[in-house]
Chains A and B, each alone.
Chain A
Amino acid sequence: MAEPIVQVRNLTKRFGEFTAVDGVSFEIRRGEILGLLGPNGAGKTTTIQMLLGLITPTSGEIRMFGLPFDRHREEILGKVNFSSTYVSMPQALTVEENLWVVARLYGMDRIQARVDDVVKRMEMEEFRTKVTRKLSSGQMTRLSLAKAFLTDPQVLFLDEPTGSLDPDIADKTRSLIKEIRRISGLTVLYTSHNMREMEEMSDRIIFLQRGRIVAEGTADVIKARYGETDLEEVFLKLARDQSASVSRP
């Protein structure tokens, strides 16, 4: 079994009286894609933001590559990237300029070759010189993904990465993620509201509700546990059950 790359222990985040993430623990092994499911406000994005060092946990521990995050932030973030439909990029810069900025931030070498490669892989040739503010939402999402792939991360956090992509590009993006995972052992934490996509992509799924893990396992295990044949039905059942009991293997 591959070694754990991301280790989260009793992660908790409180904002005053409100608990956004409540004692969450999980591991992601090298080359694994872990799906993070849950209704809006369940704590998925807050968890990812803590893993990216954008929010300081109230308590608990995050380790990546065997290192404690709080003491090795720079080293860890150099090997990590993310893409989120909720995050923009400088609007006055062209697609290519934005990618250059990211590559420089992460200290990449052979920048032009890397930019050319990711532009080609993400099929962005026709708008690579376009100013970002003129991109469609689908093109913007592709830029955000290109930015994430550009730095050759070992860990990727993808927050609804295909949300505004057409089915063709979304499918190609999923294939690309799987291909990079196969070649380089990429480790991925993935959130989506598309249950089919979640099933297709994830080796394991964690279901969060009100900041707590209420179900964990493969899609098949979770479906069997809740007596459903469809992950969407499980989602609805769990999301609507205000007192969902913790169910972990």
Chain B
Amino acid sequence: MKLHRITALLYRHMCLYKRSFPRVLEIIYWPFVDLVIWGFITLYLQQFKAALPNFVLFFLGALILWDVLFRAQQGITISFLEEIWSRNLMNLFASPLTPGEFLAATMTLSVGKVLAVSCVTVLAALAFYSFNVFVLGLSLIPFVLNLIIAGWCVGVLTTGLIMRYGQEVEVLAWGLVFLFQPISCVFYPMSVLPEWLQAIARLNPAAHVFEGMRAVITTGSFPASELAWAVGLNAFYLALLVVWFHLMFAACKEKGLLVRVGE
């Protein structure tokens, strides 16, 4: 893996964002709108709260953390789509760039996107609702890292599918991640799910992060077991999906799809 090839891709995307106001807006706009709407809904529902303490913390914390996962996924998938839209895939993969370096670059980009989005949502939550996500304390760091990796997993999966099935499935870049939202238990505890769905949710690393977040809010203790599950599952899925991506890449070269995607 060569650093100069990874930084080449980072430079390419920095140039793109530097010159494209709509792309910058896309990073800021939706998280901001989401936060404002959910924030006011949360404030409204709080008037009827009975037994649920830390109502704002539950919902706004969850919303901000969900956006971490979503933007980490988008960072990978949208970067790949940018190459399709600009018909640049041939230039990239006829160079010494490897699929692994491509993924490494898009993962780095996704971290940049997460940081940008997080700044917006954290500041907006503070300004509009006096909500400070850092009340979650140091546990926020492993939560965020695990959500980034969970986002990478969904991003690699989505990108592999788009590479294999072409722009017809481009919509997955925005939609697939929401398939995982119900079993990520973002806004509700896992216990509200039916038993069979709980079994599936336990295999989702994001669900353990959100369970952990709620444990920190309600008990103040650090949920080490939830974190261990999240780390283990993330490591397993990421390794599996990176191997799968390489197999998809090889299959696309075999079928001649790499030169046709985007046509």
Q: Which residues from chain A sit less than 8 Å from chain B, CB to CB? A: 13, 15, 46, 49, 52-56, 73-75, 77-78, 80-82, 84, 87-94, 97, 100-102, 104-107, 131, 147
**Taking chain B's interface residues, is the majority helix, strand, or loop, or is none over half, making it mixed?**
helix
How distant is the Cα of A54 from the Cα of B87 in the complex, in angstroms? Answer: 14
Q: How far is the CB of A235 from chain B (nearest CB, A)?
A: 25
**Is B46 an interface residue, CB under 8 A from the partner?**
no
Q: List the B residue with the shortest CB-CB distance to A55.
A: B256
- Identify the stretch in B13-21, B116-124, B228-236 within 8 Å (CB) of chain A at 4 or more residues: B13-21
B259 x A49 contact (CB < 8 A): yes
B8 x A104 contact (CB < 8 A): yes
Q: List the A residue with the shortest CB-CB distance to B82.
A: A90
Q: How far is the CB of A108 from chain B (nearest CB, A)?
A: 9
**Is B95 an interface residue, CB under 8 A from the partner?**
yes
How distant is the Cα of A93 from the Cα of B256 in the complex, in angstroms? Answer: 28
Chain B residues with Cβ under 8 A from A89's Cβ?
A: 86, 88, 91
Contact of A53 among B16, B20, B93 (CB under 8 A): B93
Given known pairs A55-B259, A104-B8, A147-B91, the reply for A92 and B96 (CB within 8 Å) is: no
The 8 A CB mask of B1-16 against A (1 = contact, 0 = none) is: 0101101110110011
**Is B49 an interface residue, CB under 8 A from the partner?**
no
Chain A residues with Cβ under 8 A from B96's Cβ?
A: 73-75, 77-78, 105-107
30 of the cross-chain contacts (CB-CB < 8 Å) are A15-B255, A49-B259, A52-B94, A54-B93, A54-B253, A54-B259, A56-B250, A77-B94, A78-B96, A80-B94, A82-B94, A87-B90, A89-B86, A89-B91, A90-B16, A90-B88, A92-B16, A92-B86, A93-B12, A97-B11, A97-B15, A101-B8, A101-B11, A101-B15, A102-B8, A102-B95, A105-B5, A105-B92, A105-B95, A107-B5
Known: A81-B94, A105-B5, A106-B96. 10 other contacts (CB 8 A): A49-B90, A52-B94, A53-B94, A56-B254, A74-B96, A87-B90, A92-B86, A105-B96, A105-B97, A107-B4
Contact of B253 among A56, A77, A78 (CB under 8 A): A56
How distant is the Cα of A229 from the Cα of B92 in the complex, in angstroms? Answer: 42
Contact of B98 among A15, A74, A80, A93 (CB under 8 A): A74
**Taking chain A's interface residues, is the majority helix, strand, or loop, or is none over half, making it mixed?**
mixed
Give residues of chain B (88-122) contacting chain A, Cβ–Cβ below 8 Å. 88, 90-98
Q: List the A residue with the shortest CB-CB distance to B258.
A: A54
How distant is the Cα of A131 from the Cα of B18 in the complex, in angstroms? Answer: 12
Chain A residues with Cβ under 8 A from B255's Cβ?
A: 15
Give residues of chain B (1-55) contacting chain A, Cβ–Cβ below 8 Å. 2, 4-5, 7-9, 11-12, 15-16, 19-20
B256 x A46 contact (CB < 8 A): yes
Chain B residues with Cβ under 8 A from A87's Cβ?
A: 87-88, 90-91
How distant is the Cα of A80 from the Cα of B8 in the complex, in angstroms? Answer: 18
Chain B residues with Cβ under 8 A from A100's Cβ?
A: 11
Given known pairs A56-B254, A77-B94, A78-B96, the reply for A88 and B5 (CB within 8 Å) is: no
How distant is the Cα of A131 from the Cα of B97 in the complex, in angstroms? Answer: 24
Chain B residues with Cβ under 8 A from A106's Cβ?
A: 95-96
Q: How far is the CB of A135 from chain B (nearest CB, A)?
A: 13
- Interface centre among B4, B11, B256, by most A CB within 10 Å? B256
How distant is the Cα of A82 from the Cα of B90 in the complex, in angstroms? Answer: 10
Contact of A55 among B5, B92, B98, B258 (CB under 8 A): B258
Q: List the B residue with the shortest CB-CB distance to A104.
A: B8
A90 x B86 contact (CB < 8 A): yes
B19 x A131 contact (CB < 8 A): yes
Given known pairs A53-B94, A54-B93, A131-B19, the reply for A90 and B12 (CB within 8 Å) is: yes
Chain A residues with Cβ under 8 A from B11's Cβ?
A: 97, 100-101, 104
Chain A residues with Cβ under 8 A from B256's Cβ?
A: 13, 15, 46, 49, 55
The 8 A CB mask of B182-219 against A (1 = contact, 0 = none) is: 00000000000000000000000000000000000000
How distant is the Cα of A80 from the Cα of B93 in the complex, in angstroms? Answer: 12
How distant is the Cα of A107 from the Cα of B95 in the complex, in angstroms? Answer: 11
Q: How far is the CB of B251 from chain A (nearest CB, A)?
A: 9
A104 x B4 contact (CB < 8 A): yes
Q: How far is the CB of B212 from chain A (nearest CB, A)?
A: 40
Contact of B2 among A77, A90, A107, A147 (CB under 8 A): A107
How distant is the Cα of A18 from the Cα of B56 in the complex, in angstroms? Answer: 61
Q: How far is the CB of A152 from chain B (nearest CB, A)?
A: 14
By Cβ-Cβ distance, the 6 closest A-B pairs, closest first, are A104-B8, A88-B87, A52-B94, A105-B8, A90-B86, A74-B96
